[in-house]
């Protein structure tokens, strides 16, 4: 039994990594996403302009390399290249941190509900059903308006409504895992409930959770972009891809570059994240025995 347990916890991860690296679309997406991330973090070294700095000689002009406006300027004379870099940082931070918030809440809640079972499970999941019935957008807007529009509150507000599906996934995984023989063996050996959850339930449920978390990042980035499009997201002097797309959409006919570059970066990032999520899902598919 020990040998079988080791083969289900160690060898599959090597096979998973091997299958993941064989997926060309996933590997290419990882490389492109790393390039975009490094670009948003280090790209400003290639520009003499600062965020919010106005070039009075180039207001609403297309890309001009001689003036170091690689993506052009907006209607206020601010460099779009620098704004796109900073906007990428905020959008990626929102996606990652809000996903982390939903991950912590969803995994904890779903594991407890599934492991305890019975009436506790029923009550906890009925609470999730009630929250599902609420309009998510209204809930986030309410939190944002009530607590303010701080960037950190946006992380928390979005993460606070994105944990429900993750909790259901983890709860289903927990219900299946707690019937397995190695869980029974841990109970017989005197392991506490907390130890079983921490060392056996959560590690074995992480596969499905990681896949869903990966697919949640682009969804949350789009969510933040929509909030920013409505004027409820990131506020000046900060910016995000959603804010830039909103501004670019208003100037689309006279200054199409204002929409083109932020939308291109956002679309590329979303495509990469979706390909990575699909690759992880295929790599973690236990039915694939190759």
Residue 289: predicted pLDDT: 44
Q: Which residues have CB under 8 Å from 91's CB, separation 6+? A: 221, 224, 225, 240, 241, 242, 266, 269
Location of structure tokens 């994240």? 273
Q: Give the residue ranges of the chain where pLDDT is below 70.
A: 1-13, 148-149, 284-290
Residue 101: predicted pLDDT: 85
Q: Which residues have CB under 8 Å from 126's CB, separation 6+? A: none
- Compute the Cα dihedral for 44, 48, 50, 53 and give only its sign: negative
Compute the C-alpha angle 59/61/63, nearest 5°: 135
Cα–Cα nearest to 258, from 45, 127, 76: 76
3-state secondary structure of 287: coil
DSSP helix, strand, coil percent of the chain (3-state; round to 5): 75, 0, 25
Locate the domains of the chain by residue range: 20-42+79-283
What is the torsion angle, in degrees rounded to the nearest 10, for the CA atoms of residue 17, residue 180, residue 163 and residue 246? Answer: 30
CB distance 108 to 165 below 8 Å:
no
Residue 286: predicted pLDDT: 52
Q: Which residues have CB under 8 Å from 138's CB, separation 6+? A: none
Query: What are the angstrom distances between the C-alpha of 201 and each of 107, 167, 182, 196, 204?
Result: 10, 14, 10, 6, 6
CATH topology of domain 20-42+79-283: MetI-like fold (1.10.3720)
Residue 225: predicted pLDDT: 76
Residue 28: predicted pLDDT: 93
- Give residue 61's region: left, alpha or beta (phi > 0; psi -120 to 50): beta
Buried b / exposed e along 148-170 (16+ C-beta atoms within 10 A) = eeebeebbebbbbbbbbbbbbbb
Buried b / exposed e along 271-289 (16+ C-beta atoms within 10 A) = ebbbbbbbbbbbbbeeeee
- pLDDT tens-digit map of 192-204: 878 888 888 888 7
């Amino acid at each position: 039994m020990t040998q079988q347990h080791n083969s289900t916890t160690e060898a599959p991860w090597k096979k998973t990594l091997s299958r993941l690296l064989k997926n060309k679309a996933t590997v290419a997406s990882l490389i492109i996403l790393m390039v975009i991330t490094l670009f948003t973090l280090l790209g400003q070294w290639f520009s003499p302009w600062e965020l919010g700095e106005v070039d009075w000689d180039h207001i609403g002009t297309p890309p001009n390399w001689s003036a170091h406006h690689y993506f052009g300027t907006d209607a206020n004379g601010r460099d779009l290249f620098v704004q796109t870099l900073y906007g990428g940082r905020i959008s990626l931070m929102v996606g990652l941190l809000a996903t982390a918030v939903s991950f912590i809440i969803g995994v904890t809640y779903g594991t407890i509900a599934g492991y305890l079972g019975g009436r506790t499970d029923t009550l906890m999941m009925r609470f999730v059903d009630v929250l599902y019935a609420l309009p998510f957008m209204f809930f986030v807007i309410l939190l944002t308006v009530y607590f303010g529009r701080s960037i950190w509150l946006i992380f928390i507000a979005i993460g606070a409504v994105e944990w429900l599906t993750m909790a259901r996934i983890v709860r289903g995984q927990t219900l299946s895992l707690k019937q397995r023989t190695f869980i029974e063996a841990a109970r017989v050996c005197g392991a506490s409930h907390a130890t079983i959850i921490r060392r056996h339930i959560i590690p074995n449920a992480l596969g499905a959770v990681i896949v869903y978390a990966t697919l949640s990042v682009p969804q949350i980035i789009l969510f933040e972009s929509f909030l920013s499009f409505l004027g409820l997201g990131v506020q000046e002097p900060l910016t995000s891809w959603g804010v830039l797309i909103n501004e670019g959409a208003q100037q689309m006919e006279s200054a199409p570059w204002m929409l083109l570059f932020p939308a291109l970066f956002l679309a590329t990032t979303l495509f990469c994240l979706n390909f990575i999520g699909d690759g992880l899902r295929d790599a973690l598919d236990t039915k694939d025995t190759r």
